[in-house]
């Protein structure tokens, strides 16, 4: 894939007013995945919503990385349960 298909970390940092050390901390805790393409740090477009959600929790609400991890996992479980419930309702 080419760099044009990704979102540059520097653009996200500028837009959300976060610095590189804050992004690194989130990456260190496994909350975000950053890849390098053509010497630029970036993320796939499909990850943008999740990435921005995590940045908002961290920056705007002051949630620490461990708390963000719990929130992300609970959100995923809720989505899975909703999907399961939807499938069960269709079966009846």
Per-residue pLDDT of the chain (92 residues; tens, 9 = 90+): 566 789 999 999 999 999 999 999 999 999 999 999 988 999 999 999 999 999 999 999 999 999 999 999 999 999 999 999 999 999 86
Do 8 and 51 touch, CB atoms closer than 8 A? no
Q: b/e string for 6-36 if b means 16 or more Cβ within 10 A?
A: bbebeebbeebebeeeebeebeeeebbeeee
Query: How many Cα atoms are found within 13 Å in the side-chain-facing hemisphere of 56?
Result: 8
Number of domains in the chain: 1
| CATH code for the domain of 50 | 1.10.1660.10
| Range of the structural domain that residue 53 is part of | 3-91
């Amino acid at each position: 894939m080419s760099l044009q298909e990704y979102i540059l970390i520097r653009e996200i940092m500028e837009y959300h007013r976060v610095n590189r050390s804050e992004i690194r901390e989130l990456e260190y805790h496994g909350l975000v995945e950053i890849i390098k393409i053509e010497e630029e740090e970036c993320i796939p477009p499909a990850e943008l919503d999740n990435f921005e959600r995590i940045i908002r929790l961290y920056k705007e609400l002051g949630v620490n990385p461990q708390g963000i991890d719990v929130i992300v996992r609970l959100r995923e479980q809720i989505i899975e349960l909703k999907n399961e419930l939807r499938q069960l309702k269709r079966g009846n």
